[in-house]
Each structure stands twice: as structure tokens, then as C-alpha cells.
């Protein structure tokens, strides 16, 4: 062995010439390493692949002209972004490569931002300065944030865009769920603009719960909220039988009674299902409340709780008190105060109480609670943070009950504990935590939600947008949300509108729901007499809608109060209400309007003027529009409907004043009574 | 001496190999108790979802025997392009001969092929290809505009929440998936019809002009959505992603 080494040494360095030759050779080789590494680099390999791919295409010449070799770079000094992704993703801007389905050569899909001004990692994350796939896409020792999976890409939109964003439905839904499902009751989410995200789910107060329901129902509900109502947003706390028993004992013992709720039944619940169904329909309860039908499908809205098994839950006394005036029990409720009379309360309560499920409470047998059980129940209620969502007399709402999520999108992976078999990335962690919160460690308090996969993904998307960059973005790059309005109408009418919960469905001055038309300019739009009649007895305006204005059983005085306020206050700045007459248009102009209606503008596609011939029912029925709307409003509407009601489905036809005036003349001649009245009664 | 060393080395290598292959080994397939003759789609084909997201409805396929009756206990395996998640990726048909699976599409807009396999009595593979549509940013925007402005006339199906106006129209509009007709209309012509209304191309005035309501990019987004959902597929619908 030693001899061999010795002879090798002799061969290489035996004399000075040999030694010089060998050393020069070694130098030469080591000098060649750098260029060779460069030559065989990954990005060059992809660029060769790209050139090979485009060679045989019909558009080869154009593509070759666009091609730039070497390392490409997009630099955004404002954001500290250096992206070299385009060194490998060479065809990003080539729309003609749309048929290519191999990466890295796919063209970028159309987005509202310019690639060379926006870079890549601003949306996709990853390490932009890297020039190898592994370093750019994955997390490395020096770079934690890997590329963002496509399904969460909208979270990057949310860093700058703080409001609703058309084109990013997942982000919108995720943000909606964060408030709607009450995540932010326990988790503080401080938005980058300093505002605290508010919940929109309004969980009921439990301070008078014994008025409303039985201990048995509370037990069944706590055990499995979704067994009572599949749509329940209340999560499952996976409580043991004993814990459930004790919490229900405490809630009942802690409840105080309201005088209205325990009043003896003034009207015996009647069992006339036909009358009940008819009143339920007329009051449009289904606009807000869902009921599971025989086929198992939910029918109805999701503003109020599902009523499929409500008869197994509520006490008759409480239900009647609630129907009479829900604001006695819950001042903030979204439910209107319907002003039902005694027979109506009897009919409706009888109808609702019949919606019972005998299986729900069949296996719940509770013995009278002991003081120890009640005390234990109270401790559990504090431990589980029930008061974060529900008002409970004697228990304070806990502060910061759960970890704050304001910067969750930047949580270092090294601080996370993953489940076995889980990918070690932040998005996977967040999604896993939402899906199975209790799996991560024994004794965790976060309850089990019933989110679908799509909902988990959208929640994850919204949470990933809460990161350092979003919080530190220069204000010039922000696209802020329109400020939230807390508009409240004034005076007696304002009180009445709150009592009737108009804002649960209607929006006025940026405040309120979106189920029914925006009333901001209602006073310019309609005629006084029509509004009075409508409030007295709402008839159908849009036959294609299933959510409609309910009959609220208002008194004459209340109707006048409301009408006066609406007519005076809710005025459009465009054109005076009385600037055009309600009748007396020349016959020729009316005729021309009719021709335009049926010919040039083909309005009968969506509207009915003559119920014998017209069929369209997308827009409101216009058989009596001349008694409903003001001429000035019709004219302005013809000129530009979106200006009056943004988002309306009626297209802007850019009409000439002459056409708009003729159509106004034609439409305003459609009065109640006369020929259209005959058609209406026939129908 | 060297022989010993070699045996130890081979043993070591063998242990290393088995431990590695153990890590990557898939969960063993369930053993089928029956073998069908054909595989058919029950529901869940041709759905649209945003690229990278889960389809709204599960995909349900059914195995039939020679008589065309549903067959329980047959093995179905699903296959799709990389990036597509099919969960579960295989399963035995239930008592009604069906396997239900949830599909999350890949991150790129285009069409995704999901292939369902089963084995017949002769141990031959029987396959069924189902196509799903992934929408990119522009198509998603187009879909929203469609929901807001177009669908109530152009979609003949009514739902509980949305009554269709299709039947009320004297001249019937084209449903947007109707590729046979719409694929023959160029992008420029579609832009003209949407922007200036039906009469711009001597079509019905019942199609109003939307050019003052929708922006140019809105109209482009709508067209890209129409092209994406076209059946048969439009040549601009984007690439097809299938298992290589």
C-alpha cells in the first residue's frame, strides 16, 4: 500500500516539470467548475427545453423573437421583491401557448395586474430570488415561506384588497365565515387598518333560557347541535354525559324569568295546519327561516334559526310571547315585530309547535340537579368560554379567550405541532386545525365545527391573508373597503323601523341587509298612495322572487308615520320627484313608447305590461306601474338604472332623452283600474 | 473476510431498501368480491369549480354487471393528472353498486380528466373518463357576471332560489354550454352581441345591449367563461389535464 502511494507521488510530482504540469491541470479544472455549473444550471435546462418546444410551432418566429435568454428578473423596490421566476417560466406572457399543458411553460392566466409590474412572489410567495426549482418553490433552511398552493391563492389578493373583491369569491366567503360563524368571538382578529373584526352571528343570550326551552333540550343540543338543526352554526364541544348534565343544570338554575314569557297562554295554540301554513307563508317566515321538507331539502333563508324541529325546543308560553313581540326577549333580534293579533298568534304557534321530532329528546332523562352539579356546570361554562359568544348572567365575557389570529398568516412553521401524516406547511396546519381542532392535543378547548371542505379552504384563504406584509403595506398600495355605515333613521319613524327590523332585509344609506331592494332613494321612486297601500297589504312585485315583503299588520297611524318619513327623507339627488307629470302625455308619445317597449328595447322579455301577452317575470310586473312609480324616477331609470341602484340586473341602454320620455309616457299610463286592472283580477 | 463484508453490505442495503419502500408503499387496495362488466357515471361529471378548489358535488360512479344491474363489491380506482386530489382514490362499490369520491381540481384552469377503472371477470381493465372544468381568474369573474345578469334567461333550469325566464321568451336564448352553436360564433361576434344586443348580428332584440352596463373586460371575462364551459369543448377552452 505504502509503495503504491509512493510511486503515485513519484509519477505526479517526481520532478519540477511534472509537478508544474499537474498543478496547472488542477487549476485549470477548478477554474472550469464555475462556468460548467452555470452551463448546466436548471434554468438554462428549462430555457433549452422551451426553445425545443417552440421550434416546431407555427408561431415559432414570434415566440423566438420574444425569447430572452439568461436570468430574467423583476425588481419591485417598494415591496423588496426580486423575482427571477421568469428565468424558467419563459412563456408566461405568451397567450398563444394556451394549449401547452406542461410547466414551466404555461402562459399566465389573465389577471387584472401586469406581470412585469407585479412580480410573481407577491401573489404566489416562495423565494423569488432563487434560481433552482427546489429553492424557489419549497421552504429551505434560509427561506421558510414555500410557494402558496393554488387553492389558497386568493389570500394574496386579500393582503391589499381589504373589502369585497369580485373575482375572489373564496376570499370573500372565508372572511364572511369568520364573522358569520363566530370565529372572532373567541379569536381576536385585528385587521391591518386597526379595526377589530366583528362577529355577525348574534348568538342568543342565555340569561333567560329557562323561559324558552327545557333542560332536556339544552342537554340534547349541547350533545349534538346538528342533530337538532343541520344548519346550526353552534359547534360541537364533544362534552361527556356528566359535563352536559351539569352545564344544562347550571344554565337552567342561572336563568331568570321575564314576566312576558311566563304569562299564561292567552290564546290556546290552535291546530289548523292549513291556516298555519297560510299565515307562515303570508308572513314570509321562510325568507329568513329554513325548514327541512319531506325530501330532506332545506327550504328557506338562513337569517334566523332553522325551524324543522322547533316544536321540540320551545315552550308554548315563550313562543307566543316571542311571536307577539320578539324584542321583549331579545332587543337586538333581526326578527320583525309582526303585530300579530291573538288568533294569529294561536294559529302560528300551533303550526310551529307541531314541527316536533319525538326522537330528539326520547333518550334524555335527567334527574333533579344537585348544587354540586350546578357549581361544576358553572365552572365548565367558564372553562369552555361559553360567555365569549353567549350573554350569561353572572359570567363575564372572557378577554382573549383563544389565540389572536391577526398575524396567523406568518406563523413560523417551527412553532407548529403537526399531526402525523400531515404536510408540514402553514396552510395545511390551519386547514387541519379548522377541520379537527381537538386532534392536535388532548384537552384542547376549540370545538368541532361542521365546515365543508370548500368552507375550510375559504377560511384558510382568509386567515392566510392576515400576515406581516398585509399589516405593513404602504398605504399607497392599499385598496380599502368602503367604510361600514351604522346609519340609523331618526325619530319616531326610526324607532318604528328598528322595531320592524327593516334593516334585516333592506339597505338604506349603506346600512342593512341585501335581501330586499335598497330604499335609500325610495321617496323619489314611488308614489305616496302606493306606498301606503303596499305597507297595508304587500302584493307581489317580482313574481320570480321567493323572498318577499311580509305583511306586518301595521296600524294606519304607523303606516302614515313610515310613509311620511320615507317620502321626505329618502330622496335621490337626481331630478325632482315632481319634475314630470303623472298623466297627460300626448297619445302619440304613449304610442311611440309602446312601440319602443315591444320593439327596439324588447322589454317584454323581462317585464309584464299586458298580462295576456307578456310573460317575462325577471323584473317587476308593470301592469300598474303608473300608480306605483313617479314619472321622474322612470325617466331617470331609463337613462341609467345602475346609477340609481348599483348592481341592478336591468341593463343601461344609453337611451336618448326622446326614447326615455316616450317610454315614461307609456309606462306612466299603466294605472291601476282601467284595462290592466281587469287583467289583474282575472289572474 | 471480503465475503463477510459483502454479505453485511447486502443485508444493510436490503434493510435500507425495505425501510425506504415501506415509507412510500401505498395503502393496500381493498380486495374486490365481484367483477363487473361496465362502469358508468351516476353524477358529478362536467362540474365547474375554481382552479385548485374542491368540486361542489362528489363524483359518483357505478359498476354494472353483464345484465346492466348495479354490482356491489367491485373495486374502483380513480386516476387523474398530478395536482388533482381524488379522495378516496379507490374503493369497493356499496350496496347500490356505487363509489362516491370528492375531487379537488388542480391549480391550473382547463379541463381535468378523471379516469375510473374497474376490472372485469377476464381481469381486463374497464375505464370511464369523466371531465371536470377548472375556472381561472377571468372565468370565475365571468361566472359571477353570468349569475348576476345572464343566467336567468340563458339557463333553462330553474332552482328553488332562481326561477328561469327561458320559457317566457319567444325566441329562445342559447344556454352557454351549448357548444354546437356557440363554438361557431367568433369572439368578436360574441363581443358585438353582448355589447350591442341581438340586433347587431340580426338576432332577436330580446337580447339587450350590455355595452353600457358591462365593461370591455367584463365582456371578455364572460366570453372566457362561456368558452370554458362549452360542451363540446371549445378550442379556446384551455388545455386538458390527464394522467400521463
pLDDT in tens, B100-109: 999 999 888 8
CB spacing of B106 vs A167 below 8 angstroms: no
**Is B239 buried (19+), middle (13-18) or exposed (0-12) by CB count in 10 A?**
middle
Nearest to B54 by CA among B118, B139, B112: B112
CB spacing of B205 vs A98 below 8 angstroms: no
Chain B residues in contact with A110 by the CB 8 A cut-off are: 136-138, 220, 224
Summarize the confidence of residues B12-39 as an average pLDDT.
66
Domains of chain A: 2-37 (no CATH), 42-147 (no CATH), 159-200+402-477 (1.10.760.10), 209-379 (1.10.760), 491-569 (1.10.760.10), 587-682 (1.10.760.10)
Distance CA A610, CA A280 (A): 31
Residue from A460, A651, A659, A660 to probe the interface with B (highest B Cβ count within 10 Å): A651
pLDDT at site B41: 93
Chain B residues in contact with A111 by the CB 8 A cut-off are: 137-138
Nearest to A73 by CA among A136, A154, A134, A147: A136
Distance CA B99, CA B130 (A): 14
pLDDT at site A480: 85
Distance of CA A514 to the CA centre of its chain: 12
Give Cβ neighbours of residue B198 (< 8 Å, ≥ 6 apart).
B204, B205, B206, B207
Among all chains, which residue has been given the C-alpha cell 401586469? A114
Query: Which of B52, B83, B241 lies at the smallest CB-CB distance from A153?
Result: B52
Grouping H, G, I as helix, E, B as strand and the rest as coil, residue B66 is coil
Query: Which of B110, B140, B208 lies at the smallest CB-CB distance from A167?
Result: B140
Q: Contacts for A328-334 with beta carbons within 8 Å, 24 or more apart?
A: A328/A258, A328/A260, A328/A261, A329/A208, A329/A211, A329/A212, A329/A258, A329/A260, A329/A261, A330/A204, A330/A205, A332/A202, A333/A202, A333/A501, A334/A202, A334/A288, A334/A303, A334/A304, A334/A501, A334/A504
Distance (Å) of CA A462 to CA A156, A176, A401, A411:
9, 9, 21, 14
Q: How far is A321 from chain B (nearest CA, A)?
A: 32
Between A376 and B15, the more confident residue is A376
CB spacing of B208 vs A601 below 8 angstroms: yes
Is the backbone peptide bond immediately before A104 cis, with ω within 30 degrees of 0? yes
Query: Which of A100, A457, A652 lies at the smallest CB-CB distance from B213?
Result: A652
Radius of gyration of chain A from its Cα atoms, rounded to whole angstroms: 34
CB spacing of B144 vs A166 below 8 angstroms: yes
φ, ψ for residue B123, nearest 5 deg: 60, 25
Distance (Å) of CA A664 to CA A584, A616, A679:
12, 19, 21
Distance CA A370, CA A535 (A): 53
3 state SS for A260-293: HHHCCCCCCCCCCHHHHHHHHHHCCHHHCCEEEC
Q: How far is B186 from chain A (nearest CA, A)?
A: 17
Query: What sign has the CA pseudo-torsion B21, B27, B30, B36?
Result: negative
ipTM score of complex: 0.84
Grouping H, G, I as helix, E, B as strand and the rest as coil, residue A14 is coil
3 state SS for A510-556: CEECCCCCCCCCHHHHECHHHHHHHHHCCCCCCCCCCCCCCCCCCCH
Chain A residues in contact with B56 by the CB 8 A cut-off are: 454
- Residue positions counted in chain B: 244
Distance CA B55, CA B111 (A): 13
Residues forming beta bridges with residue B75, ordered by sequence position: B92
Chain B residues in contact with A606 by the CB 8 A cut-off are: 153, 165
Residues forming beta bridges with residue B118, ordered by sequence position: B126
The H-or-E segment that residue B115 falls in is: strand B110-119
Chain B residues in contact with A647 by the CB 8 A cut-off are: 148
Q: How far is B209 from chain A (nearest CA, A)?
A: 6
**Is A382 buried (19+), middle (13-18) or exposed (0-12) by CB count in 10 A?**
middle
Provide the whole-model pTM.
Answer: 0.86
List residues in chain A touching B: CB distance below 8 A: 98-101, 106, 109-112, 149-153, 166-167, 169-170, 297, 299, 452-454, 457, 543-544, 546, 599-602, 605-606, 615-618, 640, 642, 647, 649, 651-654
Grouping H, G, I as helix, E, B as strand and the rest as coil, residue B135 is strand
Please report how the helices A491-499 and A556-569 are oriented relative to each other, as an axis angle in degrees rounded to 10: 110
Distance CA A672, CA A628 (A): 9
Q: And the C-alpha cell for B17?
A: 431498501
Give Cβ neighbours of residue B204 (< 8 Å, ≥ 6 apart).
A602, B170, B171, B198
pLDDT at site A28: 92
Q: And the C-alpha cell for A303?
A: 337569517
Contact of B208 with B79, CB cutoff 8 Å: no
Among all chains, which residue has been given the C-alpha cell 359571477? B144
Residue from B239, B240, B241 to probe the interface with A (highest A Cβ count within 10 Å): B239
Distance (Å) of CA A516 to CA A504, A528, A637, B148:
9, 19, 18, 15
Q: How far is A610 from chain B (nearest CA, A)?
A: 14
pLDDT of B6 over the 60 cut:
no
Query: β-strands B110-119, B240-241: how paired?
Result: parallel
Chain A residues in contact with B168 by the CB 8 A cut-off are: 605, 615-617
pLDDT band at B9 (very low <50, low <70, confident <90, very high): low
Q: And the C-alpha cell for B100?
A: 362516491
CB spacing of B236 vs A653 below 8 angstroms: no
Chain B residues in contact with A615 by the CB 8 A cut-off are: 167-169
**Is A145 buried (19+), middle (13-18) or exposed (0-12) by CB count in 10 A?**
middle
Is the backbone peptide bond immediately before B232 cis, with ω within 30 degrees of 0? yes
CB atoms inside a 10 Å sphere around CB A26: 10
Residue from A109, A173, A286, A618 to probe the interface with B (highest B Cβ count within 10 Å): A109
Distance CA A416, CA A198 (A): 27
10-residue stretch averages of pLDDT, chain A, 683 residues long: 85 85 91 85 89 86 86 87 90 84 85 88 91 87 86 92 89 94 92 86 91 94 93 92 94 88 71 87 90 86 92 92 92 92 91 90 86 93 93 90 92 88 90 92 89 92 93 85 86 93 92 89 92 86 72 92 93 81 90 93 91 85 91 92 88 92 93 51 34
Give the nearest chain B residue to A599 (CA atoms).
B205
Distance CA B107, CA A166 (A): 19
B24-58 exposure pattern, b = at least 16 Cβ within 10 A, e = fewer: eeeeeeeebebbbbebeebebbebbbbbbbbbeeb
Among all chains, which residue has been given the C-alpha cell 360542451? B231
The H-or-E segment that residue A75 falls in is: strand A74-76
Domains of chain B: 38-135 (2.60.40.10), 137-237 (1.10.760.10)
Q: How far is B212 from chain A (nearest CA, A)?
A: 6
CB spacing of A167 vs B137 below 8 angstroms: yes
Contact of A635 with A664, CB cutoff 8 Å: yes
Query: β-strands B48-50, B90-92: how paired?
Result: unpaired
Q: And the C-alpha cell for A576?
A: 325632482
Q: And the C-alpha cell for B28?
A: 393496500
B72-106 exposure pattern, b = at least 16 Cβ within 10 A, e = fewer: ebbbbbbbbbebbbbeeebbbbeeebbbbbbbbbb
CB spacing of B104 vs A601 below 8 angstroms: no
Contact of B27 with B111, CB cutoff 8 Å: no
Contact of B97 with B71, CB cutoff 8 Å: yes
Summarize the confidence of residues B114-135 as an average pLDDT.
91
Q: And the C-alpha cell for A643?
A: 346609477
Residue from B111, B135, B141, B242 to probe the interface with A (highest A Cβ count within 10 Å): B141
Amino acid at each position: 500500500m505504502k509503495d503504491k502511494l509512493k510511486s503515485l507521488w513519484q509519477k505526479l510530482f517526481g520532478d519540477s516539470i511534472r509537478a508544474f504540469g499537474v498543478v496547472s491541470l488542477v487549476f485549470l479544472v477548478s477554474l472550469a467548475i464555475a462556468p460548467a455549473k452555470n452551463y448546466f444550471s436548471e434554468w438554462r435546462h428549462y430555457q433549452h427545453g422551451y426553445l425545443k418546444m417552440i421550434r416546431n410551432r407555427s408561431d415559432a418566429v414570434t415566440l423566438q423573437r420574444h425569447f430572452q435568454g439568461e436570468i430574467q428578473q423583476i425588481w419591485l423596490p417598494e415591496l423588496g421583491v426580486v423575482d427571477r421566476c421568469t428565468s424558467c417560466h419563459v412563456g408566461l406572457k405568451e397567450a398563444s401557448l394556451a394549449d401547452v399543458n406542461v410547466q414551466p411553460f404555461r402562459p399566465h392566466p389573465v389577471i387584472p395586474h401586469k406581470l412585469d409590474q407585479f412580480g410573481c412572489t407577491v401573489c404566489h410567495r416562495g423565494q423569488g430570488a432563487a434560481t433552482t426549482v427546489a429553492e424557489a418553490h419549497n421552504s429551505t433552511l434560509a427561506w421558510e415561506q414555500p410557494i402558496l398552493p393554488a387553492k389558497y391563492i386568493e389570500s394574496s389578493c386579500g393582503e391589499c384588497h381589504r373589502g369585497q373583491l369580485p373575482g375572489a369569491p373564496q376570499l370573500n366567503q372565508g372572511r364572511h365565515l369568520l364573522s358569520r360563524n363566530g370565529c372572532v368571538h373567541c379569536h381576536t382578529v385585528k385587521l391591518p387598518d386597526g379595526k377589530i373584526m366583528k362577529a355577525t352571528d348574534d348568538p342568543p343570550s342565555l340569561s333567560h333560557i329557562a323561559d324558552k326551552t327545557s333542560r332536556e333540550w339544552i342537554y340534547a343540543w349541547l350533545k349534538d347541535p346538528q342533530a337538532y338543526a343541520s344548519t346550526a352554526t353552534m359547534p360541537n364541544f364533544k362534552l361527556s354525559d356528566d359535563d352536559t348534565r351539569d352545564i344544562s343544570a347550571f344554565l337552567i338554575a342561572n336563568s331568570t324569568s321575564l314576566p312576558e314569557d311566563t304569562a299564561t297562554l292567552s290564546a290556546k295554540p290552535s291546530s289548523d295546519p292549513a291556516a298555519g301554513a297560510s299565515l307562515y307563508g303570508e308572513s314570509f317566515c321562510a325568507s329568513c327561516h329554513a325548514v327541512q321538507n319531506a325530501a330532506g331539502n332545506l327550504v328557506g333563508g338562513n337569517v334566523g334559526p332553522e325551524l324543522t324541529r322547533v316544536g321540540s325546543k320551545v315552550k308554548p308560553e315563550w313562543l307566543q310571547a316571542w311571536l307577539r313581540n320578539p324584542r321583549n326577549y331579545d332587543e337586538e333580534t333581526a326578527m320583525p315585530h309582526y303585530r300579530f293579533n291573538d288568533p294569529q298568534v294561536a294559529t302560528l304557534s300551533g303550526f310551529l309547535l307541531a314541527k316536533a321530532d319525538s326522537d330528539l329528546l326520547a333518550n334524555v332523562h335527567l334527574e333533579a340537579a344537585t348544587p354540586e352539579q350546578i357549581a361544576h356546570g358553572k365552572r365548565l361554562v367558564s372553562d369552555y368560554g361559553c360567555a365569549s359568544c353567549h350573554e350569561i348572567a353572572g359570567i363575564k365575557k372572557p378577554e382573549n379567550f383563544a389565540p389572536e389570529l391577526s398575524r396567523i398568516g406568518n406563523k413560523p412553521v417551527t412553532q407548529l405541532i403537526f399531526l402525523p401524516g400531515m404536510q408540514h406547511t402553514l396552510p395545511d396546519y390551519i386547514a387541519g386545525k379548522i377541520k379537527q381542532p381537538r386532534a392536535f392535543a388532548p384537552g384542547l378547548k376549540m370545538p368541532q365545527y361542521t365546515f365543508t371542505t370548500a368552507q375550510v379552504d375559504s377560511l384558510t384563504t382568509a386567515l392566510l391573508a392576515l400576515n406581516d406584509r398585509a399589516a405593513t403595506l404602504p398605504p399607497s398600495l392599499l385598496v380599502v373597503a368602503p367604510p361600514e355605515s351604522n346609519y340609523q333613521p331618526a325619530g319616531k319613524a326610526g324607532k318604528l323601523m328598528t322595531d320592524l327590523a327593516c334593516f334585516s332585509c333592506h339597505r338604506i344609506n349603506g346600512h342593512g341587509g341585501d335581501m330586499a331592494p335598497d330604499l335609500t332613494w325610495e321617496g323619489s321612486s314611488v308614489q305616496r298612495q302606493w306606498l301606503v297601500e303596499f305597507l297595508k297589504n304587500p302584493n307581489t312585485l317580482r313574481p320570480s322572487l321567493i323572498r318577499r315583503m311580509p305583511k306586518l299588520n301595521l296600524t294606519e297611524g304607523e303606516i302614515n308615520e313610515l310613509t311620511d318619513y320615507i317620502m321626505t327623507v329618502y330622496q335621490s339627488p337626481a331630478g325632482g320627484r315632481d319634475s314630470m307629470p303623472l298623466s297627460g302625455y300626448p297619445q302619440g308619445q304613449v304610442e311611440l313608447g309602446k312601440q319602443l317597449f315591444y320593439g327596439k328595447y324588447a322589454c317584454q322579455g323581462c317585464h309584464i305590461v299586458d298580462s295576456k301577452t307578456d310573460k317575462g317575470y325577471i323584473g317587476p310586473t308593470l301592469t300598474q306601474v303608473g300608480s306605483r312609480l313617479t314619472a321622474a324616477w322612470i325617466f331617470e331609470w331609463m337613462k341609467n338604472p345602475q346609477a340609481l341602484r348599483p348592481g341592478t340586473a336591468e341593463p343601461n341602454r344609453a337611451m336618448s332623452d326622446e326614447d326615455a320620455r316616450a317610454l315614461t309616457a307609456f309606462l306612466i299610463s299603466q294605472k291601476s283600474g282601467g284595462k290592466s286592472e281587469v287583467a289583474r283580477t282575472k289572474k | 473476510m471480503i465475503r463477510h463484508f459483502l454479505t453485511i453490505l447486502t443485508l444493510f442495503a436490503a434493510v435500507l431498501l425495505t425501510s425506504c419502500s415501506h415509507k412510500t408503499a401505498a395503502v393496500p387496495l381493498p380486495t374486490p368480491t365481484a367483477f363487473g362488466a361496465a362502469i358508468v357515471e351516476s353524477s358529478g361529471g362536467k362540474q365547474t369549480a375554481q382552479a385548485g378548489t374542491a368540486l361542489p358535488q362528489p363524483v359518483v360512479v357505478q359498476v354494472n354487471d353483464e345484465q346492466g344491474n348495479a354490482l356491489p363489491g367491485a373495486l374502483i380506482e380513480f386516476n387523474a393528472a398530478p395536482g388533482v386530489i381524488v379522495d378516496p382514490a379507490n374503493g369497493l362499490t356499496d350496496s347500490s353498486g356505487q363509489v362516491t369520491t370528492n375531487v379537488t381540481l388542480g391549480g391550473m384552469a382547463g379541463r381535468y380528466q378523471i379516469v375510473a377503472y374497474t376490472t372485469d371477470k377476464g381481469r381486463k381493465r374497464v375505464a370511464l373518463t369523466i371531465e371536470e372544468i377548472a375556472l381561472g381568474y377571468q372565468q370565475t369573474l365571468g361566472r359571477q357576471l353570468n349569475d348576476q345578469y345572464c343566467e336567468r334567461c340563458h339557463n333553462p333550469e330553474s332552482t328553488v332560489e332562481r326561477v328561469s325566464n327561458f320559457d317566457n321568451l319567444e325566441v329562445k336564448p342559447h344556454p352557454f354550454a351549448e357548444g354546437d352553436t356557440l363554438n361557431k360564433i367568433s369572439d368578436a361576434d360574441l363581443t358585438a352581441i353582448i355589447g350591442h344586443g341581438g340586433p347587431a348580428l340580426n338576432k332577436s332584440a330580446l337580447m339587450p345591449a350590455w355595452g353600457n352596463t358591462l365593461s370591455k373586460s367584463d365582456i371578455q371575462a364572460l366570453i372566457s367563461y362561456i368558452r370554458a364551459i362549452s360542451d363540446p369543448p371549445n378550442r379556446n377552452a384551455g388545455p386538458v389535464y390527464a394522467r400521463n
